[in-house]
Chain A
Amino acid sequence: MKKIGLTIISVLAILLIVNGCSAAKPTTGTTKADSLIVAIGAEPDTGFDPTKGWGRYGSPLFQSTLLKRDDDLKIEGDLAKSYEVSEDGLTWTVQLRGDVVFSDGKPLTSEDVKFTFDTSASNGSAIDLTNLASVTAGENEVRFQLKKPQSTFVYFLITTGIVPKHAYSSSYAEQPIGSGPFTFVQWDRGQQLIVEANEHYYGKKPSFHKLTFLFLNEDAAFAAAKAGSVDVAYIPSAFSGQEVAGMRLEAVKTVDNRGIAFPYVKAGGKTDKGYAIGNDVTADKAIRLAINTVINREQLVEGVLEGYGSPAYTANDGLPWWNEDTKLEDHDTDAALRILKDGGWSDNDNDGVVEKDGLKAEFTLLYPAGDVTRQSLALAAAEMVKDAGIRINVEGKSWDELEKLMHANAILLGWGSHDPLEMYNLYSSDFGGVDYYNTGYYNNPAVDKWFEQALEARTEEESIEYWKKAQWDGKTGLSVKGDAPWAWLVNIDHLYLVKDGLDIGKQRIQPHGHGWPVTDNIESWGWK
């Protein structure tokens, strides 16, 4: 009897849970007009020290940078009045505004800028300043001496928040002081960050006096939004179908992309750590091209991202250095079959998988096990390439395992940055096997040459032409038109539930999901 009772109770409990979950209880929270509570992503593990990488994705919030991008991603001055690059591209001179003070009231001088870059260079890990020979601080002027010309140096000026020399210590990351729009109040690790408006801020003052960042996972953030306890919540696309009373859904375009990185070389090599490199199947260009051609990116956006995304053709769609010629007609099975046939692949034993010289068109696609979106994309893509006679075996692994396997197997990775340097990192032969960058050991001397020219250009404008040519110069390139070492799939829209009446301004194309890019334009947020 007791056991039957238990069974009944457990069934009831299941029903109760199911019912409880489908019944949303809308509540209208009251919010003080000058403070906001947001749940927009994870906290930075290493704290808020720009010299260790804080603020590279999205604004550094507490600190300000020498230069910044406007809503159209054009570069404009922030702490800098102006900057110029010498004829030979080796000397960058930045004129400071001179009227800026830190939130503790002390003035921001060229010494602080020098200190910031010297510290970043010595920290080394997050910010690659190996090309920086020296920094000289003058009267309201900072001079950067480079070892060789580097057009991408400007991105360090855009992303590196300036820290105060007088208030910098080993605990700075936990108690940052800066000249940005907000000052630090309190950080409870794993829970929340509270910031207040910086009274000394020189730019446009934000209309909110106090911001609270809650560090919730996606489910909790959604629950908090439903309960009306947050003003802005970052949610995954799985939740996008649900209406939340009192809030609206804002989808922000991104270059937060996902794609398949193929091993570009034939099997046989080994990394320094002894991990295998290369894969005979994906080393064949026809295979990579056929996969790129047969995949239906629109359907991936509809099916996996619930429509909140866009097809991706490169790592930098929509950015100023994107070469639009790299778009291709996808979802074309006939074309894919033709490519394979021309490449010598055919299905002779009628098992649905093409082969060439006894080698079956079959390989493993890895994805990080904790990531549902990548899992879904991997499975859906594997299903789509079946039409072309290619068999992809999908496997989910932990990041530790992935690092050992990713040079010999295809892997589903995500990138996306406001910086063409990322393109260089992903495709340059110098970066073969470095971190997660060029996992497939892609190398093309022509592409490397364009990269060299892009890097050595004096300004961003000059470099853009070379970046575009690296993607496709009419003969070869790193895009699908050329060698197709990647099959880019989708750009994922970032979805925010925003309280009705709250205006979060014009959002820029957002980079890959780390950090809080949505707060980039925090000063233009306000109640309508």
Chain B
Amino acid sequence: MKQASSVVTLNGANRWNERRRTFASTILAAIFLAGIAACSWLLGSSGLSVQLENRNLAPSMTHLFGTDWLGRDMLSRTVKGLALSIKVGLLGAACSVVIAATMGLMAATLGRTVDRMISWLIDVCMSVPHLVMLILIAFVCGGGLKGIAIGIMLTHWPSLARIIRAEAMQLMAAEYVLVARKLGSSRLKVAIRHLAPHLLPQLLVGFLVLFPHAVLHEAAITFLGLGMSPHQPAIGIILSESMRYLSTGMWWLAVFPGLGLLLTVRAFDKLGNHLRQLVDPRHTHL
């Protein structure tokens, strides 16, 4: 379907091509991100305080997303929760990209033994389910936001590392790299000067695809009640709390934060996919 829609149709009407779609989704995602950041900053923390006289209010003009059973403003909580998820997501994705790039380049440049070791490490990490690894790491790091962030940083790199490694391996066989090696460039120089610039687009796509993944995992782990105090605004915590009140008809506790999470994830997932199509139409999955 995707390929078909990007083809220019017979009657000459120029349908949206991949480039435009990517551009549009970049703008949308950027606006969304800026919106969350601005809201989070503007709203301050006053909405998070308990106001028992305003509890269980349905959405209205004063409380756009309604209030919870302690009178806390759900708009504030949702935005703060999303901001936290995004922060953790950005941090986790960025770290994963750095780790993946380092691992991939090392595997390609440092010889067979190192390559084998790194491939083995990647296989091991990929054989354990993400969430289980995440929980283990978060637990070992003493829980809390720090534990979750470290866990996400350390669990998302293997799939990207594998791709970077394969790509770097290919580049190592390219003539200009061979020439550089013959001319006496060190492995480090080859990796940084000749390989890394070529891998940049892959890394960017990797970052954008890993980001929603990391956000979802942050939500999942807080949903399970790991790490943070249950009154702190994190999307997972808010969603798990709302379960209790859904049966009493307070739908707004789950719907708005849930939609917020969905939007965040979808926006960046789409952007990542478009960008990947653009950068590297040959590879279809990461």
Q: Is the CB of A238 within 8 A of B52?
A: no
A372 at interface, CB cutoff 8 A: yes
Closest CB in chain A relative to B24 CB, distance in Å: 15
A71 at interface, CB cutoff 8 A: no
B223 at interface, CB cutoff 8 A: no
Q: Is the CB of A380 within 8 A of B262?
A: no
Closest CB in chain B relative to A70 CB, distance in Å: 38
Report the stretch among A270-278, A299-307, A455-463 that lies at the interface. Answer: A299-307
**Chain B residues with Cβ under 8 A from A379's Cβ?**
50, 70, 231
Q: Is the CB of A18 within 8 A of B255?
A: yes
In this complex, how many residues of chain B approach chain A with their Cβ under 8 Å: the count is 29
A21/B53 contact (C-beta < 8 A), A375-B230, A394-B229, A396-B230 known: no
A239: contacting residue among B71, B247, B251, B258, CB under 8 A:
B247
Q: Is the CB of B225 within 8 A of A238?
A: no
**Chain A residues with Cβ under 8 A from B247's Cβ?**
21, 219, 222-223, 239, 242
Interface of B, secondary structure class, is loop
B69 at interface, CB cutoff 8 A: yes
Closest CB in chain A relative to B284 CB, distance in Å: 14
B32 at interface, CB cutoff 8 A: no
B249 at interface, CB cutoff 8 A: yes
B246 at interface, CB cutoff 8 A: yes
Chain A residue nearest to B270 in the complex (CB): A3
B244 at interface, CB cutoff 8 A: yes
A219 to B244, CA, bound (A): 7
**Chain B residues with Cβ under 8 A from A238's Cβ?**
69, 244-245, 248
B55 at interface, CB cutoff 8 A: yes
A14 at interface, CB cutoff 8 A: yes
A10/B262 contact (C-beta < 8 A), A21-B249, A219-B247, A376-B70 known: yes
A241 at interface, CB cutoff 8 A: yes
**Chain B residues with Cβ under 8 A from A394's Cβ?**
229, 231
Chain A residue nearest to B54 in the complex (CB): A303
A382 to B70, CA, bound (A): 13
**Chain A residues with Cβ under 8 A from B262's Cβ?**
7, 10
A359 at interface, CB cutoff 8 A: no
**Chain A residues with Cβ under 8 A from B225's Cβ?**
369-370
**Chain B residues with Cβ under 8 A from A219's Cβ?**
243-244, 247
A302 to B231, CA, bound (A): 20
Chain B residue nearest to A379 in the complex (CB): B50
Q: Is the CB of A14 within 8 A of B244?
A: no
* Chain A CB within 10 A, most for which of B230, B249, B254, B259: B230
Q: Is the CB of A14 within 8 A of B52?
A: no
A383 at interface, CB cutoff 8 A: yes
B residues 63-89 near A (Cβ < 8 Å) are 69-71
A18: contacting residue among B52, B241, B246, CB under 8 A:
B246
B266 at interface, CB cutoff 8 A: yes
Q: Is the CB of B52 within 8 A of A303?
A: yes
A residues 70-125 near B (Cβ < 8 Å) are none
Q: Is the CB of A303 within 8 A of B251?
A: no
A15 to B11, CA, bound (A): 40
**Chain B residues with Cβ under 8 A from A10's Cβ?**
262
B61 at interface, CB cutoff 8 A: no
Chain B residue nearest to A10 in the complex (CB): B262
Q: Is the CB of B49 within 8 A of A383?
A: yes
B residues 26-65 near A (Cβ < 8 Å) are 49-53, 55
Q: Is the CB of A1 within 8 A of B70?
A: no
Q: Is the CB of A380 within 8 A of B229?
A: no
Chain A residue nearest to B229 in the complex (CB): A396
B1 at interface, CB cutoff 8 A: yes
A residues 339-386 near B (Cβ < 8 Å) are 369-370, 372, 375-376, 378-380, 382-383
Chain B residue nearest to A397 in the complex (CB): B229
A2 at interface, CB cutoff 8 A: yes
A379 to B72, CA, bound (A): 11
A residues 274-303 near B (Cβ < 8 Å) are 299-300, 302-303
**Chain B residues with Cβ under 8 A from A382's Cβ?**
50
B residues 240-286 near A (Cβ < 8 Å) are 241, 243-249, 251, 254-255, 258-259, 262, 266
Closest CB in chain A relative to B230 CB, distance in Å: 5
Q: Is the CB of A241 within 8 A of B255?
A: no
Chain B residue nearest to A386 in the complex (CB): B49
**Chain B residues with Cβ under 8 A from A325's Cβ?**
none
Closest CB in chain A relative to B91 CB, distance in Å: 23
A428 to B41, CA, bound (A): 49
B residues 82-102 near A (Cβ < 8 Å) are none
A379 to B229, CA, bound (A): 12
A394 to B231, CA, bound (A): 8
Q: Is the CB of A369 within 8 A of B230?
A: yes
Chain B residue nearest to A302 in the complex (CB): B52
Closest CB in chain B relative to A3 CB, distance in Å: 8
Q: Is the CB of B52 within 8 A of A375?
A: no
Chain B residue nearest to A380 in the complex (CB): B50
A396/B231 contact (C-beta < 8 A), A238-B248, A302-B52, A304-B52 known: yes
A173 to B228, CA, bound (A): 38
Closest CB in chain A relative to B156 CB, distance in Å: 22
A338 to B216, CA, bound (A): 50
Closest CB in chain B relative to A260 CB, distance in Å: 15
User: What 0/1 pattern do residues 41 to 55 of A give for CB contact below 8 A with B?
Assistant: 000000000000000
Q: Is the CB of A303 within 8 A of B229?
A: no
Chain A residue nearest to B52 in the complex (CB): A303
User: What 0/1 pattern do residues 175 to 190 of A give for CB contact below 8 A with B?
Assistant: 0000000000000000
**Chain A residues with Cβ under 8 A from B249's Cβ?**
21-22, 242
A1: contacting residue among B1, B244, B246, CB under 8 A:
B1
A1 to B247, CA, bound (A): 34
A14: contacting residue among B55, B69, B255, CB under 8 A:
B255
A10 to B262, CA, bound (A): 10
Q: Is the CB of B1 within 8 A of A22?
A: no
A299/B230 contact (C-beta < 8 A), A1-B1, A369-B225 known: no
**Chain A residues with Cβ under 8 A from B266's Cβ?**
7
A300 to B52, CA, bound (A): 8
A375 to B68, CA, bound (A): 13
A329 to B98, CA, bound (A): 61
**Chain B residues with Cβ under 8 A from A380's Cβ?**
50, 52, 70
A222 to B245, CA, bound (A): 12
**Chain B residues with Cβ under 8 A from A18's Cβ?**
246, 251, 254-255
Chain A residue nearest to B245 in the complex (CB): A238
A397 to B71, CA, bound (A): 23
The residues of A with any CB-CB pair to B shorter than 8 Å are: 1-2, 7, 10, 14, 17-18, 21-22, 219, 222-223, 238-239, 241-242, 299-300, 302-304, 369-370, 372, 375-376, 378-380, 382-383, 394-397
13 A-B pairs (CB sep. < 8 Å): A7-B266, A14-B255, A18-B251, A21-B246, A21-B247, A21-B249, A241-B248, A303-B53, A303-B70, A376-B50, A379-B70, A380-B52, A383-B49
* Closest A-B pairs by Cβ, 9 of them: A303-B52, A396-B229, A18-B251, A383-B50, A22-B249, A21-B246, A1-B1, A396-B230, A379-B50
Known A-B contacts: A7-B262, A222-B247, A372-B241. Give 17 more (CB < 8 A).
A17-B246, A18-B251, A18-B254, A21-B247, A238-B244, A239-B248, A300-B52, A304-B52, A304-B70, A370-B225, A370-B230, A376-B50, A376-B69, A378-B231, A394-B231, A395-B229, A396-B231
